[in-house]
Amino acid sequence: MSDRRVVITGMGWVTPLGTDLDGVWKRLLAGDTAIGPIDRFDASTFSTSFASEVKGFDLRAHVGDLADAHAEAGISTKYALAAAMSAVRQAGFTGDKAPNPARCGVYLGAGEGTLDYDHFMATHVAGWDAESKSVDGAKWAARAHEGMNALLELEQEPHLTVSHLADAFGARGPAFNCMTACAASAQATGEGAEIIKRGDADVMLVGGAHTMIHPLGMSGFIRLTAMSTKRDDPTHASRPFDAKRDGFVMGEGAGILVIEELEHAKARGATILAEVAGYGSTADAYRITDIHPEGKGAAAAMRWALHEAGIDPHATDDTGRPLVHYVNAHGTGTQENDKIETAAVKAVFGGLAPKVPFSSVKSMLGHLIQAAGAVELITCVKAIETGWIPPTRNLEHPDPLCDLDHVPGEARDLNPVGGVEVCLSNSFGFGGQNDTVCVRRFRD
């Protein structure tokens, strides 16, 4: 087995609550939210007309003149570039200190880019033949040729985000993009860490970026009845674990981490933020529409991550405290997810489960879909760094099926009991993809 350890040396995010690492963290601890009516397009007639949007984003403010080379990139790719720049700077990889390109890779869970709506819609409508009630290929193609643009189409390919990041930061090693829905960027982080452990790279840029805040993205989830419809009260719409929860709230953004082989980080004197101690990945193999009712796959992913980290979920320290100090929930705010995830945490920790703080930052950030896992993993590292745990906002009406310590309403200072050493971050995707990443305070 490999004895190469993987540590986190840089982090960056672009979120609806801001782009500054500490600034967003403070807002999360304050239980703040940016959820409100959608600005991006006219969603006034949509049954879910609100979301958690990134506003006022300007790539140049984050990456300077590098923005020129990526001016045509899609929105979520630009989020990824900005987040990666923060992460790379924090890791100290700027200027002449860049890593060896062949030993540096990129593994993202980046989502597809947004459609070129004007031409996409006009082309489909122009192609419609009312008589046969079907699309006429020739008419469709003629309209497509009038407006569709090669670059705008290319930039919708999800792996282009990887291409942009690799180009911007000089990575020529292994390059992957995965799309396991809401689990994608957690999976990318886990698999990226495996690439380093095996010795196929020393440094990886990992994480994800995504936006589905556009008409068909919203429509798809509305038809699935997966999103909250609290149109009158958006700031209280995202309410994971609350009895009155009625679905998730769409968010957008990016989370990127620099992960690195321990000796490589030490040799260059990098500041180590935390260790990627374990990663578990499973499939429910149950149904495309539903989570396994007992959370079998979710529990297996958590157990696997803990096993890799060498942590016994049933053990406590001398003070009776469980060894895992925080579980960052997938916690979407759908009826199904929250009760099943709670059951899965109970299955893993047994009698200790009530003593493990288990909150959802989606109550504040919304659901960043493919970017969620990486952004939430960063909150775990911040918890380790500060000893504080972010709350679950809007948890006001306890649900008997979600009866663990969800840290309702207010952030919690764990420094008096010894701070935060170990966190799990859960990410589950449509179709039964389960990923759990375990991060631990770095100790030599």
Partner 1 sequence: MDRRRVGITGLGPVSCVGSGVDAFWSSLLEGTSGLGPIGAFDASGFASKLAGTVEGIDAKSFVPKSYRKATKVMARDAELAVAAAKLASDDAGLRTRGSEDGDAGFEIVPERTGCQIGAGLIAAEANELTRALVNSLDDDGKWDVQRWGTAEGGAQGMNNLPPLWMLKYLPNMLACHVTIIHGCEGPSNTILAAESSGLLSLGEGARVIERDDADISIVGGAESKLNLMGLMRLELLKRLAATGDATDGSRVVKPYDADAGGTLLAEGGGILIIEEMAHARARGVRVYAEVAGFGASQSDLRGETGLELAIESALRDAGATAADIDAIFPTGLGLPAADAHELGAFKTVFGDRLGEIPVVSLAPTIGDAMAGQGGLMTAAAALAVHHQTLPARIHAGTPAAGIDAGAGGSRDAALGNVLVCTTALGGQNAAAVLRRAT
**54 CB neighbour count, 10 Å cutoff:** 25
Query: Sign of the C-alpha dihedral, residues 270, 272, 277, 278?
Result: negative
Biggest distance spanned by C-alpha atoms of the chain? 77
CB of 243 to partner 1, least distance (A): 25
CB of 434 to partner 1, least distance (A): 9
Q: Which two tokens stand for residue 102?
A: 């062949």
| Binding flag, residue 43, partner 1 (CB under 8 A) | yes
Q: Which residue is catalytic, options 104, 178, 182, 438?
A: 182
Residues 2-21 that bind partner 1 (CB under 8 A): 2
Which residue number, 108 or 377, has a Cβ lying nearer to partner 1? 108
Q: Out of 56, 71, 95, 145, name the contact with partner 1 by CB under 8 A.
A: 145
Residues 294-353 that bind partner 1 (CB under 8 A): 296-297, 300, 304
Q: Which residue is catalytic, options 62, 70, 264, 330?
A: 330
Q: How far apart are the first and last CA of the chain?
A: 19
Contact 347, 299 (CB under 8 A): yes
Segment near partner 1 (CB under 8 A); pick from 50-58, 87-95, 134-142, 316-324: 134-142
Residues 58-117 that bind partner 1 (CB under 8 A): 69, 102, 105-106, 112
Q: Out of 22, 39, 42, 68, name the contact with partner 1 by CB under 8 A.
A: 42
Alpha carbon 278 to its chain's center: 17
Which residue number, 69 or 401, has a Cβ lying nearer to partner 1? 69
| CA contacts within 13 A on the Cβ side of 194 | 14
Residues 104 and 259: their CA atoms lie apart, in Å, by: 10
Residues 429 and 184: their CA atoms lie apart, in Å, by: 8
Task: Name which of 252, 209, 204, 272 is nearest 53 in CA terms.
Answer: 252
Residues 262-281 that bind partner 1 (CB under 8 A): 281
CB of 89 to partner 1, least distance (A): 21
Is 124 labeled as catalytic in the residue annotation?
Answer: no
The site map against partner 1 for 219-238 (x = CB under 8 A) is: xxxxxxx-----x-------
Contact 107, 174 (CB under 8 A): yes
Q: Out of 94, 263, 271, 289, name the contact with partner 1 by CB under 8 A.
A: 289
Integer angstrom CA distances of residue 287 from 48, 291, 299, 335, 431: 25, 7, 17, 17, 7
Is 380 labeled as catalytic in the residue annotation?
Answer: no
Q: What does 276-287 look like in DSSP terms, one character per residue?
A: EEEEEEEE--S-
**72 CB neighbour count, 10 Å cutoff:** 12
Q: How many residues bind partner 1 (CB under 8 A)?
A: 94
- Contacting residues for 348 by C-beta, under 8 A, at least 6 apart: 299, 302, 303, 306, 313
Is 330 labeled as catalytic in the residue annotation?
Answer: yes
Q: Which residue is catalytic, options 62, 70, 164, 367?
A: 367
The site map against partner 1 for 395-424 (x = CB under 8 A) is: ------------------------------
Residues 160-219 that bind partner 1 (CB under 8 A): 160, 162-164, 166-167, 171-181, 187, 191, 194-195, 198, 200, 215-216, 219
Contact 14, 79 (CB under 8 A): yes
Task: Name which of 84, 24, 31 is nearest 54 in CA terms.
Answer: 24
CB of 181 to partner 1, least distance (A): 6
- Active-site positions? 182, 330, 367
